[in-house]
Amino acid sequence: MNQREVTEKFRPLPRHEEGFCFGCGPQNKAGLGMQFFSDGDSVVSQVVVPDHLCGWGKVVHGGVISTMLDEVMGWTAIYLLKRLVLTKSLQVQFEKPLFAGEMLRLAGRVLEKTSEREALLTAELFNPAGDRCATSQGIFALFTSTAAKKLGIIDPDLVDMITEKFLV
């Protein structure tokens, strides 16, 4: 999947311009600035990891790799399942090193909605050559907008914005 394929096959998801999320918030200058696209079956993203998020040399830190995989799975659940989410568990398999400054590609899919309150998702992370370098599976807790507000897990204004843009 290259930039042209993303543009032609996937439509961009709306962005929340006021967000400060490390993974996707445009207001977080130290973050990843991830944007997401969907073909209705999966959610994808492309990202260039900046140098300040490396471990050894130019190798992307494992925690940053885990974050990117978690983020694409989270947005996959939000967009495809139409629910707000929190990660319950995350397993990551590191297969090959990834390097800062390169265009990396991610793809997330729903494996199974196990109940009204939980789903199993998967994600893959590819280097510019198309080699799969990391995979993940995660269990995500699913929340309606009303439940998220009642539990106080997300700012009510953010719940309203996400509901308006994604959950209808």
- Residue 23, pLDDT > 80, answer no
Whether 24 has a pLDDT exceeding 80, the answer reads no
Q: How many CB atoms lie within 10 A of CB 60?
A: 26
Tell me what pLDDT residue 7 has.
57
Q: What is the pTM of this model?
A: 0.90
CATH architecture assigned to 3-162: Roll (3.10)
Residue pair 124/107 in contact (Cβ under 8 Å)? The answer is: yes
User: CB neighbours (10 Å) of residue 163?
Assistant: 17
Encoded tokens for 132: 């799969």
Question: Is pLDDT of 74 > 90?
Answer: yes
For the residues 130-141, what does the mean pLDDT come to?
A: 98
- pLDDT confidence of residue 112: 98
pLDDT at 18 over 80: no
The pLDDT score that the predictor gives to residue 21 is 80
* Mean pLDDT rounded to a whole number for the chain: 90
Please state the rounded mean pLDDT for residues 101-105. Answer: 97
Residue 30: pLDDT band with limits 50, 70, 90: confident
Tell me the average pLDDT across 88-114. Answer: 97
